[in-house]
């Protein structure tokens, strides 16, 4: 590298990262929005098959459907609204580096919440809700995609020579 030449360091992320995370966030947002709507309308129109192990209404109307008085469906909706904003292509392109820490941290907290809800479904409610499972899977995959994206991201050095 010659003295006086301009050195540019550019973070290069995989091309699939922004669209994949945006699609996952939007899917999670739609699912959580439906569950929130059903929560506030008494789950009377919740479309879900009922078997020995699957019972959406029992899950969404149980005491575990709220955390500190706040519906968990609403918490999920707020989470996916935030993730959708953070995963917009323009935010991926222009936001400062700490935004990626926010995405990863947020998705990790989301996964902890998923573990708590699975515990409630398996050991307290003894039933699972398919719409909730959809949210759980999306949250898990979103975190994995973000981590894989981080692993494949690297700095390109353009020495301007």
Partner 1 sequence: MSEKSQPRSGKEKLALMQAEQARKSRQTKLLSVLAGFVVAVLVVVGVAWAVSSQNKKEQDQKAKAAAASNKFIDTVTSIPASSFAAVGAGTANGRPQPLANPKAETENGKPVMTYIGAEFCPYCGMERWAMVAALSRFGSFSGLQGAVSAADDQPANIPTMTFLHSKYTSKYLVFNSYETQDRNHNPLQTPPKAISKVMASVNPNGTIPWIDFGGKTYTNGATYDGSSMSNMSAEDVAAQLKKPSSPLAKGILGAANVMTAQLCELTDGKPGAVCKAKGVIEAAGASGQ
Which residues of the chain form contacts with partner 1 (CB under 8 A)? Answer: 52-53, 55, 58, 62-63, 118-119, 122-123, 125-127, 140, 144, 147-148, 151-152, 154, 158, 160-161
By beta-carbon proximity to partner 1, the closer residue of 102 and 144 is 144
- Minimum distance from residue 119 beta carbon to partner 1 (Å): 7
Picking from 50, 48, 145, 158, the residue whose alpha carbon sits closest to that of residue 100 is: 145
Residue closer to partner 1 (CB basis): 36 or 55: 55
Q: Which is nearer to partner 1, 105 or 158 (CB)?
A: 158
Nearer to partner 1, 9 or 151 (CB): 151
Q: How far is the CB of 44 from partner 1 (least distance, A)?
A: 9
Exposure letters 55-83 (e unless 16+ CB within 10 A, then b) = bbbbbbbbebbeeeeebbbbbbbebbebb
User: Least Å distance between CB 81 and partner 1?
Assistant: 25
Please list, in sequence order, all residues whose beta carbon lies within 8 angstroms of the beta carbon of residue 53, skipping any fewer than 6 positions away. Answer: 127, 128
**DSSP letter assigned to residue 119:** H
Q: Which two tokens stand for residue 80?
A: 């996916």
Alpha-carbon dihedral 136, 139, 145, 149, rounded to 10 degrees: -160
In the complex, the smallest distance separating the C-beta of residue 123 from partner 1, rounded to whole angstroms, is 5
């Amino acid at each position: 590298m010659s003295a006086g030449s301009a050195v540019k360091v550019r973070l290069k992320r995989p091309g699939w990262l922004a669209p994949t995370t945006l699609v996952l966030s939007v899917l999670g947002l739609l699912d959580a929005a439906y569950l929130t709507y059903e929560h506030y309308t008494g789950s009377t129109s919740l479309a879900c098959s009922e078997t020995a192990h699957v019972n959406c209404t029992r899950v969404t109307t149980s005491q575990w459907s709220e955390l500190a008085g706040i519906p968990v469906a609403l918490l999920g909706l707020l989470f996916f609204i935030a993730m959708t904003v953070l995963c917009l292509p323009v935010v991926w392109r222009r936001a400062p580096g700490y935004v990626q820490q926010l995405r990863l941290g947020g998705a990790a907290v989301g996964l902890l919440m998923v573990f708590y809800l699975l515990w409630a479904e398996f050991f307290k409610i003894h039933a699972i809700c398919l719409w909730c499972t959809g949210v759980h899977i999306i949250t898990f995959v979103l975190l994995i995609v973000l981590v894989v994206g981080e692993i494949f991201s690297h700095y390109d050095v353009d020495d301007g020579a």
